[in-house]
Amino acid sequence: MIGSLLYLSASRLDIVFSIYMCARFQLSPKESHLIVVKRIFRYLVGTHSLGLWYPKESTSNLIGYSDADFAGCKVDRKSTSGTCQFFGNALVSWSSCKQNFIALSTAEAEYVAAESCC
């Protein structure tokens, strides 16, 4: 189930974070993880017409956005960074990953996210 969801994550950015959170527990899954995976499948059935759209007419501005949560992971207290880059109106790059160290403040977590965006 996780493998098929990982395949879908290339075109459905709205489910990437949830999929990777479930994939972390593949070694020792519990029933609660199965419930979450089934919920993701139900969400996909309800939103099957959504996806990425790249229009032909767009400007040539490169814009990057970044954000981070402070100590969002309840297991190891690490922050998660998220970035996306747009060329005109089209999304060309994105990432969401757990930071390598434990941030001591919200500002520190945001600086690390901004650095990964650049």
CA distance 44 to 25: 21
pLDDT of residue 42: 92
Q: Structural domain of residue 22, as residue ranges?
A: 1-51
47 and 59 share one domain = no
83 and 109 share one domain = yes
Mean pLDDT of 38-65: 80
Categorize the per-residue pLDDT at 18 as very low, low, confident or very high, splitting at 50, 70 and 90. Answer: confident
Dihedral over Cα of 108, 112, 115, 117: its sign: negative
SS3 (DSSP) at 41: helix
Token pair, residue 40, equals: 């993701």
Instruction: Report if pTM > 0.75.
Output: no
42 and 80 share one domain = no
101 and 86 share one domain = yes
